A and B are shown apart, each in its own frame.
Chain A
């Protein structure tokens, strides 16, 4: 509070504030335990349909033995392993309700709170989202472990080497940050549009197909494959899974990790810019 605050204690205050936001958001999340547990568990159901779907596809490729055929370098086992890994990726990168809640905050004027109180909206949302993820993993880690254990036979190559594993883990955390800032940008467009849900719908549609959530991007024909590999959304699902399966290695891995960091920083900066501009518009600056 006083002017004589040293930069060190300011930094501690910043960390403490984030820690407090995280704690409170976590407490809030846990207020709806039942609904939350059910919602988390229901997400595991599509695994079964996906396994059957890919089985049917591979059967059509090689009716005698579906286990033999390959699709853009993916065997049936690889496909299932890939799908399971994208689920992990999406557990980090998906941001349910983020954009729409920002839109609602702007429309209903709840955003005023962040103009009047000494707390930044994006910092607040980021740490609340970290809390959401912690709450989510506290419930879903066990089912994830069970599913991976049951499906261990699909991982024909076994565990990747420690470096690949480290790159995989890093890509998961970065995909969280990328997913957050990307969707924050969409939500902040609410400063200009009354309703962001249709915009969000279009984005979700693209994300569904082009993030690699439905199928490995490798099966896309050119020029789509080249285009998609330049887009940031492949990092939300495809990239971590591909890293784990050893599909991205060596220099390519380094470059792609660099691009992931670059995209994350880009959307972080963009969200800040849109927020500042949006606030100017909201408050009628110069208008």
Chain B
């Protein structure tokens, strides 16, 4: 049985339509117009125990809303979901003791107290036995190398150190499911890397199920085998990270190193020139024409070196996002039919 099962989950918010100007503001005191905003539209998804899944999408795509639904903070407008067999928004104490939510932008620890104190409170509210508590805490603090910082007030810690403490607090009760909402937001490269390494190790060791949202492609590339792209409140893609490039980018980038004295004239025939820094020339070439073009180029030019690469992932995903936001939802349903394998493959 899947550990997380989401069936046709939808969430819409009613928001007050504020209009411009004082006159409208006064009118708004009596007569208000509301508009329904669909944050999540009929998402269906299954996650197996031990999976590390990334939610990827532009701001406002519905990633955080989905995590909030799964952690029981909000009720859905429609649809159903279970996590470990629990309906999250029933918020049973039993469920609360078995999962954790970490939000990169929210501080859950006591600002003026050392992390240690917050951990002791967690021990009590999660009813962790003292030997388990000590063992888990020793393990986590040494993995994250924060043993020396336990006695310092949270407000004196750096953002990265604080994030480590947040993670420890969330993992003390050994949750089976962990929701991470942008855990590396605002961190420097080294701190990001540390958190990534820790999550990777911990997830592999414990086999817990993690759902993560992030804007950093590096987080996702380092951690998640499975990526779910959400945009406009719907799942646009579900599969491996590399699969995104295969499915959404029809181009390859060819970089040539021309031999001394060679000119680049005429190369634009084979594709759109991207970058010229003689003797290196990069251009974009439709995937289907790569071998044909390369054959001709090797015949006509003297080449020292050739590299054929996928376009950068960020670019492809950026394209995917803008592509989605330009189309209306009916067009989206159509395009979902032509998705290559691996996509929309989350139905049982």
Contact = CB atoms under 8 A, between A and B. Distances in A.
A284 B124 contact: no
Contacts of B14: 287
Given A1-B97, A115-B72, A109 B106 contact: yes
Contacts of B223: none
A21 B117 CA distance: 10
A118 B126 contact: yes
Contacts of B71: 115-116
B75 A286 contact: yes
Contacts of A112: 68, 73, 101, 103, 106
Given A1-B127, A31-B153, A24 B110 contact: yes
A45 B101 CA distance: 47
B120 A116 contact: no
A284 B113 contact: no
B89 A283 contact: yes
Contacts of B25: none
A283 B97 CA distance: 20
Interface residues of B, number: 35
Contacts of A280: 75
Q: In the complex, which range does the number of interface residues on chain A fall in?
A: 20 to 34
Contacts of A118: 93, 96-97, 125-126
A122 to B, nearest CB: 14
A74 to B, nearest CB: 44
A284 B74 CA distance: 6
Contacts of A16: 124
With most chain A CB atoms within 10 A of its CB, the pick from B13, B72, B121 is B121
Interface string B224-257: 0000000000000000000000000000000000
Interface in A255-287: 280, 282-287
With most chain A CB atoms within 10 A of its CB, the pick from B106, B108, B113, B127 is B127
Interface string B60-89: 000000001001111101000000000001
A116 B125 contact: no
Nearest to A112: B73
A116 B121 contact: no
Interface of B: 11, 13-14, 68, 71-75, 77, 89, 91, 93, 96-97, 100-101, 103, 106, 108, 110, 112-113, 117-118, 120-122, 124-129, 153
8 contacts: A1-B128, A24-B118, A27-B117, A32-B112, A117-B125, A117-B126, A283-B75, A287-B77
Given A112-B73, A112-B103, A280-B75, 4 more contacts: A1-B129, A20-B124, A24-B113, A116-B72
